[in-house]
């Protein structure tokens, strides 16, 4: 017996039992509510927890040259990241992580600290483009450092040192401004799209379609088991360019560090075989993530490395314009019989216009005016034609308008006329201005690709093509509708004038011409030099040592003289004289001809023989037995096969 005898009230004990019953009923109601009434909602929530859609990034299409050699490829880029599992102290692991990833421990800790207040489910990206041994470190330490993980993406691999950078362009994350354009409306924020060059122009073709994968993830966002569902990515399609890597290499080397641009084109088809612009930039800088510093440097550089000068530089063509003047003069029946006496200059409308040869050229006809580049002859021709007829022929040969080349942001240049001056300056045209236009100065402005196409059209007897860098065969119809790759404009040119003008152009590189030093023995090159003032001669005299004010050199040439295979146009900024430009251009032409001559002939390919000889059928004459006549014979001959051609480039520089 302990304490009082009297027991506690039985009613109260029963009351406790009822209270317990009520508590259990409430709990049972709670279970019912969650597991029966709202079960669907929570099952969906559980699914949302554990199932995640992971995008599978589609690699962009490769870019190859006209022979299928690789210019732009992709590479597998792995980024190391930290998943923030709340149960691990990242700071403690920071040293181990830093040593495995070859990073500064301070940098790792700094990143962890900086991202401490961002939502926990967002990983911290530690290092981009990690090496295979760093990737192996992460794989090997899955259990010790579970927070360390990787993410894979395809990145663009561009040729080295800005090779062909302006034609290729670069890629970057789609900007908000781009997403508002109808062209990009189907893209999503974060998509990597082309930003310039063919990467932009052919983005729809090159860009693949991302796939997705449904995976099971745990509470740390780590994938568990096999994917539940997989929609594979569609890789981007390959883009075949008309560029010839061998010629592109030759053009890049020929221009070297000089400012300017080169365009090499097949005048029959408009296929651009090489296109170079200087200074250049390295598109690989954009492939990972361009820093603000690098970007500002590119944008603020006075030489504008991001500009593709082949299609975006508008400058006075100088004496190269005299070829168009010659055609105009011939077609208008003025140049045929015209001769002038050049004594170093002539006065027009009260002002003296000098010839570049101050002592004068003496008696000059059209042919001599072309190969000697006599200014006085063309002053007179321009004066006789008048600005309207000059403008008509310049426009006919595609100046003052876009060529329609399949590259973004081409500019149109300027062909001045009475109407043009009235519209832009609300002023009347002065006849004196026509004189300057006659030698490619004044308000006239052309791009290298325009000038190359115009001279190509003249070399082809008036057949003017549309320049393009992509091979149109196999392109989707939306490109064929926008870019008129095969469009040809036939300009009626008198064949006699054409013969005389191209013959005169072929003498430019002979001793009597303006660029004899650019002559290449054994190659028939016709062309025209030009040098154009950047500022007036008076201003130039004041700043004699300022390189920015030096004259621009031009040259457009083709080979052979009749029915040419290739036309090369070059702008050499600050080159002072067209003959220096001509030397660069003829190097490119030489590379083209050399390659043609090294190509294995059909004969050798037909019957490969192991002894280095091939049998051919032949007809020949041999002396009669008596020795006083010849007899026709036929039979088989064994000829030695040509030696193996020198190795050509296998791919663009820096490509595997």
Partner 1 sequence: MARYVSFKDFDWALVGFVLIICTLGVFEIHSATVHTKFAGAHIKQVYWILGGLAGMLIMSLLNYHMLLEKVHWMYIGAVASLMTVLIFGQKYLGARRWVKLPGGIHFQPSEWVKLILILAVAKYFAEQHHKDLTWSDFVKAGAIVGVPMLMVLAQPDLGTALTYIPIAVMGLFLGGLHWKQAAVVLLLAGLAMPLAWHHLKPYQKDRLVSFMEPDADAKGSGYQVKQSLIAVGSGGLFGSSEESQTRLSFLPVPQTDFIFAAFSEGHGFVGAMGVLLLYFIVLMRLTQNAQTAPDRAGTFLVMGVVAVLTFHILVNVGMVLGFMPVTGIPLPLMSYGGSSVLFMFLALGMVMNVRMRRFVN
Positions marked catalytic: 319
Q: How far is the CB of 214 from partner 1 (least distance, A)?
A: 13
Q: Are 333 and 360 in contact (CB under 8 A)?
A: no
Contact range with partner 1 by CB under 8 A, out of 168-176, 214-222, 327-335, 405-413: 214-222
Q: Give Cα separations from 55 to 153, 193, 209, 230 (angstroms).
A: 10, 16, 10, 10
Contacts of 348 (CB under 8 A, 6+ apart): 379, 383, 431, 432, 435
Q: If you ran DSSP here, which 8-state letter would residue 468 be given?
A: B
Write the DSSP string, 220-232.
Answer: TS-EEEEEEEEE-
Q: How far is the CB of 138 from partner 1 (least distance, A)?
A: 21
Contact range with partner 1 by CB under 8 A, out of 16-24, 241-249, 385-393, 611-619: 16-24
Q: How far is CA 465 from the centre of its chain?
A: 20
Nearest to 288, CA basis, from 483, 399, 158: 158
Please give the Cα distance from 610 to 237 (Å, whole number): 40
Name the residue nearer to partner 1 (CB basis): 124 or 275.
124
Q: How far is the CB of 119 from partner 1 (least distance, A)?
A: 6
16 near partner 1, judged by CB under 8 A? yes
Site for partner 1 in 48-67 (CB under 8 A): 49-50
537 near partner 1, judged by CB under 8 A? no
615 near partner 1, judged by CB under 8 A? no
The SS3 of residue 425 is helix
Q: Give Cα separations from 2 to 5, 12, 13, 462 (angstroms).
A: 8, 21, 20, 128
Contact range with partner 1 by CB under 8 A, out of 33-41, 157-165, 183-191, 373-381: 33-41
34 near partner 1, judged by CB under 8 A? yes
Name the residue nearer to partner 1 (CB basis): 3 or 647.
3
Contact range with partner 1 by CB under 8 A, out of 40-48, 487-495, 584-592, 607-615: 40-48
Among positions 7, 226, 293, 358, the unique one binding partner 1 when judged by CB under 8 A: 7
Contact range with partner 1 by CB under 8 A, out of 37-45, 326-334, 490-498, 564-572: 37-45
Tokens of 503: 């013959």
| Bond into 164 cis (ω within 30) | no
Q: Are 637 and 616 in contact (CB under 8 A)?
A: yes
Among positions 36, 538, 541, 619, the unique one binding partner 1 when judged by CB under 8 A: 36
Tokens of 393: 């022929």
Name the residue nearer to partner 1 (CB basis): 81 or 501.
81
117 near partner 1, judged by CB under 8 A? no
Among positions 66, 109, 220, 590, the unique one binding partner 1 when judged by CB under 8 A: 220
632 near partner 1, judged by CB under 8 A? no
228 near partner 1, judged by CB under 8 A? no
11 near partner 1, judged by CB under 8 A? no
Q: What is the 3-state secondary structure (H, E, C) of 559-623?
A: ECCCCCCEEEEEEECCCCCHHHHHHHHHHHHHHHHHHHHHCCCHHHHHCCCCCCEEEEEEEEEEE
Q: How far is the CB of 32 from partner 1 (least distance, A)?
A: 7
Name the residue nearer to partner 1 (CB basis): 17 or 473.
17
490 near partner 1, judged by CB under 8 A? no
Q: Are strands 51-56 and 211-217 parallel, antiparallel or unpaired?
A: antiparallel
Q: How far is the CB of 471 from partner 1 (least distance, A)?
A: 51
214 near partner 1, judged by CB under 8 A? no
Contact range with partner 1 by CB under 8 A, out of 17-25, 123-131, 325-333, 435-443: 17-25
Q: How far is CA 594 from the centre of its chain?
A: 25
Write the DSSP string, 396-410.
Answer: HTTTTS----SSTT-
Site for partner 1 in 119-148 (CB under 8 A): 119-121
Among positions 214, 219, 490, 563, the unique one binding partner 1 when judged by CB under 8 A: 219
229 near partner 1, judged by CB under 8 A? no
216 near partner 1, judged by CB under 8 A? yes
Please give the Cα distance from 380 to 503 (Å, whole number): 22
Tokens of 164: 């062909």
510 near partner 1, judged by CB under 8 A? no
Name the residue nearer to partner 1 (CB basis): 38 or 487.
38
Name the residue nearer to partner 1 (CB basis): 2 or 477.
2
Q: How far is the CB of 151 from partner 1 (least distance, A)?
A: 20
610 near partner 1, judged by CB under 8 A? no
17 near partner 1, judged by CB under 8 A? yes
618 near partner 1, judged by CB under 8 A? no
Q: Are 457 and 398 in contact (CB under 8 A)?
A: yes
Q: How far is the CB of 215 from partner 1 (least distance, A)?
A: 11
Phi then psi dihedrals of residue 67, to 5 deg = -105, 10
Alpha-helical (H) ranges within 483-566 are 495-506, 537-542
Write the DSSP string, 291-357.
Answer: -HHHHHHHHH-TT-TTS-HHHH--B--GGGGHHHHHHHHHHTTSTTT--EEESSEEEETTEEEE-SS
Query: Sign of the CA dihedral 249, 253, 255, 256?
Result: positive
The residue count for binding partner 1 (CB under 8 A) is 45
45 near partner 1, judged by CB under 8 A? yes
231 near partner 1, judged by CB under 8 A? no
Please give the Cα distance from 331 to 357 (Å, whole number): 28
Please give the Cα distance from 656 to 651 (Å, whole number): 7
Name the residue nearer to partner 1 (CB basis): 128 or 223.
223
92 near partner 1, judged by CB under 8 A? no
Binding site for partner 1 (CB under 8 A): 1-10, 12-13, 16-17, 20-21, 23-24, 26-28, 30-32, 34-36, 38-39, 41-43, 45-46, 49-50, 119-121, 216-220, 224
């Amino acid at each position: 017996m302990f304490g009082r005898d009297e027991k506690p009230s039985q009613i109260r004990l029963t009351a406790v039992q009822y209270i317990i019953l009520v508590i259990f009923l409430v709990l049972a109601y709670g279970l019912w509510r969650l597991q029966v009434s709202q079960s669907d909602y929570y099952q969906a929530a559980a699914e949302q927890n554990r199932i995640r859609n992971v995008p599978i990034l589609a690699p962009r299409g490769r870019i190859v040259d006209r022979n299928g050699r690789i210019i732009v490829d992709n590479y597998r880029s792995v980024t190391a990241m930290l998943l923030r599992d709340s149960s691990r102290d990242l700071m403690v692991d920071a040293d181990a992580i830093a040593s495995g990833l070859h990073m500064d421990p301070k940098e790792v800790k700094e990143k962890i600290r900086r991202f401490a207040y961002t939502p926990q489910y967002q990983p911290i990206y530690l290092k981009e483009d990690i090496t295979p041994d760093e990737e192996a470190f992460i794989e090997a330490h899955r259990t010790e450092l579970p927070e360390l993980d990787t993410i894979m993406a395809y990145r663009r691999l561009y040729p080295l040192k800005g090779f062909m950078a302006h034609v290729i362009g670069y890629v970057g994350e789609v900007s908000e401004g781009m997403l508002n354009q109808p062209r990009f409306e189907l893209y999503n924020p974060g998509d990597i799209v082309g930003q310039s060059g063919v990467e932009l122009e052919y983005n729809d073709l090159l860009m693949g379609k991302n796939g997705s994968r449904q995976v099971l993830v745990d509470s740390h966002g780590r994938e568990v088991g096999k994917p539940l569902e997989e929609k594979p990515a569609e890789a981007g399609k390959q883009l075949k360019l008309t560029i010839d890597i061998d010629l592109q290499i030759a053009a890049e080397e020929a221009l070297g560090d000089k400012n300017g641009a080169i365009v090499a084109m097949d005048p029959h088809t408009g296929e651009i075989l090489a296109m170079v612009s200087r200074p250049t930039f390295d598109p690989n800088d954009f492939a990972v993530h361009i820093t603000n510093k690098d970007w500002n440097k590119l944008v603020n550089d006075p030489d504008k490395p991001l500009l593709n000068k082949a299609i975006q530089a508008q400058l006075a063509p100088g004496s190269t314009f005299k070829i168009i003047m010659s055609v105009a003069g011939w077609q208008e029946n003025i140049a045929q019989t015209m001769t002038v006496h050049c004594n170093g200059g002539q006065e027009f409308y009260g002002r003296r216009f000098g010839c570049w040869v101050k002592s004068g050229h003496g008696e000059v006809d059209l042919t001599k005016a072309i190969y000697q580049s006599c200014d006085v002859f063309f002053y007179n021709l321009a004066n006789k034609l008048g600005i309207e007829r000059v403008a008509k022929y310049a426009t006919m040969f595609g100046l003052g308008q876009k060529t329609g080349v399949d590259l973004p942001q081409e500019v149109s240049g300027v062909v001045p006329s009475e109407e043009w001056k009235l519209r832009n300056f609300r002023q009347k045209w002065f006849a004196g201005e026509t004189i300057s236009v006659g030698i490619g100065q004044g308000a006239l402005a052309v791009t290298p690709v325009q000038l190359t196409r115009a001279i190509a059209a003249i070399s082809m007897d008036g057949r003017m093509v549309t320049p393009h860098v992509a091979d149109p065969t196999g392109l989707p119809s939306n490109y064929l509708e926008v870019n008129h790759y095969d469009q040809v404009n036939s300009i009626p040119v008198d064949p006699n004038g054409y013969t005389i003008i191209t013959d005169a152009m072929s003498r430019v590189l002979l001793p009597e011409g303006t660029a004899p030093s650019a002559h290449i023995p054994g190659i028939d090159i016709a062309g025209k030099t030009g040098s154009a003032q950047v500022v007036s001669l008076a201003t130039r005299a004041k700043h004699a040592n300022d390189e920015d004010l030096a004259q621009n050199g031009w040259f457009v040439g083709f080979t052979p003289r009749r029915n040419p295979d290739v036309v090369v146009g070059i702008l050499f900024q600050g080159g002072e004289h067209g003959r220096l430009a001509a030397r660069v251009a003829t190097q490119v032409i030489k590379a083209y001809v050399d390659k043609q001559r090294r190509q294995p002939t059909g004969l050798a390919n037909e019957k490969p023989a192991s002894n280095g000889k091939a049998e051919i059928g032949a007809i020949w004459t041999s002396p009669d037995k008596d020795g006083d006549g010849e007899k026709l014979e036929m039979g088989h001959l064994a000829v030695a096969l040509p030696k193996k051609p020198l190795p050509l480039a296998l791919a663009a520089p820096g490509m595997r």
